[in-house]
Structure 1
Amino acid sequence: MSIYLDDIAQFLAKFLAVDRYDGDQNGIYVPSNRAIARLGLVLEPRSDLAKWTRRERIDALFLHRPWQLQPEKLAADIGVIAYHLAFDECFTLGYNPRLATVLGMSGLEVLGKKEERAIGMIGAIDRHNFDSYCDRIDQVFGGYDKANPGNCAEILRVAVVGAMNDALVREASDRGANIYITGQLRQPAQEALLETGIGCVAVGHRRCEEWGLKALGGVLTERWAKLQVLFL
């Protein structure tokens, strides 16, 4: 049975609960009735995108940031789906059970909300020191930008949040987190980091997105065994 762009869009609409994201790009960006065997997953258009789609025989594209796309350079029947904020919050740093599993977290609780949507999670891990847990983060994401151990001698509880401000850092510390994992260090949170002594790791925005893209590929191939996903 063939897979079509609308099938994938309908599946992701439910998986990502896109009705929570009013006014954001969620769903079909360029329509197509072409059957899909090979789906390209791309964060944003690049100059070699059209050439890559031809070489890899791509039937449709997923784009995270589609706004610079020039559809006229693609084959006429290649469809595009695009998800922006929903992808970020569900597949990168936020309340993300798939990520929690590979980070060794359990007993997940929501940490932080934006418009009633969870933007972070906090949970327990097996005992680690700061360096050993940074090694795990490095293995998961392929690196990180900055790491500050703070005053933590050991890590038993971890916060993973797709934002960073004074209030969120203090809440994480008050709820027992020994380390705060985020995309980028933010200056307004520096005082809270110093006063609480909580450790912090900034993974890097791009690394978080790349991990999320691979996770999305896993979800799609779990849903459709015959679907091939390719990454630019």
Structure 2
Amino acid sequence: MHLDTITKFLNTFFQVERYNEDEQGGIYLPSTRSIKRLGLALEPWDGLYNWVANQHIDALFLHRPWKLDVEQLPPDIGVISYHLPFDESLTLGFNTRLADVLSFSNLEVFGEKQNRPIGMIGQAPNQTFTDIFNCVKEIFNGYEQIRAASENEVKKVAVVGAMTDLLVREAASHGVNVYITGQLRQPAAQAVIDTQMSVIAVGHYRCEIWGLHTLASILQQRWSKLYLVH
């Protein structure tokens, strides 16, 4: 298997045709090397180059590759990268895999950016805010901030990769009373008070880590003999 085989699969998975050409991602550093071991990381770090060599990695997936020093990589290591498509599909956007582990039912698209959904709304029957909060903590191994407006039964939950005054009010108009996002945003504070919205801010990095592990699982399901290092 080669780099273009993986990118062809991921281009379809991420539906990259929905994005501008400079946002689509794909092959960042070409290579003709056969791939048996694929390394996955969010971004380069000081020990990356030794890690690649020590783990005998044939190619890399990097979410944010911009600080990569390609001169330090072993010869013929290919790199693929998806930034915005990864964020919108595998973190806090319209993420059906996350909806499954949150036990959502009646999933709806929520919000829009350039004709792409930026979030989702689901029903979480017979759960209180504490139930949802504990579930989110377990999924993402922690959280950044919460605002618990009420311990009443949760009606609907919104998972959104952004937080604005308008989005919070729109979510409330759909019957949402719990809003899950990456970070609490001050411009949305008044809307949160006015709508009595409970908010869970997971933290951007935690969302990305969950997305990276999920991507590894998807690739393993597609290629059972591919060895993934992350």
TM tier, shorter chain? Answer: over 0.9
Structure 2: runs of 5+ lacking an equivalent = none
Q: Output aligned runs, 1:99-118, within 5 Å.
A: 99-118=98-117
Answer 1 or 2: which has greater strand percent: 1
How far, CA to CA, are the matches of 1:71 and 1:198 in structure 2? 46
Q: How far apart in 2 are the matches of 1:100 and 1:25?
A: 24
Separation (CA, whole Å) in 1 of partners of 2:171 and 2:102: 17
Find the aligned partners of 1:123 and 1:164 in 2 and give their Cα distance.
Answer: 17
1:51 and 1:44 mapped to 2: Cα distance? 15
Report the counterpart of residue 64 of structure 2 in structure 1. Answer: 65
Give the whole-Å Cα distance in 2 for the aligned partners of 1:35 and 1:106.
Answer: 42
Q: CA deviation at 1:188?
A: 0.8
Equivalent position amino acid for 1:7 in 2: T
Q: Is the 8 A contact 1:182 1:201 kept in 2?
A: yes
Equivalence for 1:163:
162
Residue 151 of structure 1: CA displacement? 3.3
Q: How does 1:17-56 map to 2 (within 5 A)?
A: 17-22=15-20, 23-24=22-23, 26-56=25-55
Shift in Å, 1:19: 1.6
- Please identify runs of 4+ aligned residues in structure 1 that moved more than 2 A: none
Matches within 5 A, 1:68-217: 68-151=67-150, 153-217=152-216
Distance 2:45 2:216 in 1: 20
Aligned amino acid, residue 66 of structure 2: W
Counterpart AA for 1:71: V
Task: String of CA shifts for 1:118-176, please: whole Å, max 9, x gaps.
Answer: 00000111211111211100110000001111135121311000000011101111111
Paired letter, 2:74:
A
Question: 1:127 is matched by which residue type in structure 2?
Answer: N
Give % identity: 52
CA distance in 1, matches of 2:24, 2:8: 14
Asked whether the equivalents of residues 162 and 182 of structure 1 are also in contact (C-alpha less than 8 Å), the reply is yes
| CA apart distance, 1:25 | 5.1
| Alpha carbons of structure 1 residues 36 and 83: separation in structure 2 relative to 1, 3 Å | same
Per-residue CA shift, 1:64-102, capped at 9, x if unaligned? 000000011011111000001000000100000000000
For the residues of structure 1 that align with 2:49 and 2:95, how far apart are their CA atoms?
32
- Aligned equivalents of 2:104 and 2:151: distance in 1? 18
Q: CA RMSD in A?
A: 0.9
Secondary structure at the aligned position of 1:114 is classed as coil
Give the SS at the match of 2:171: helix
Equivalent residue pairs, number: 229
Change (3 A) 1:152 1:172: farther
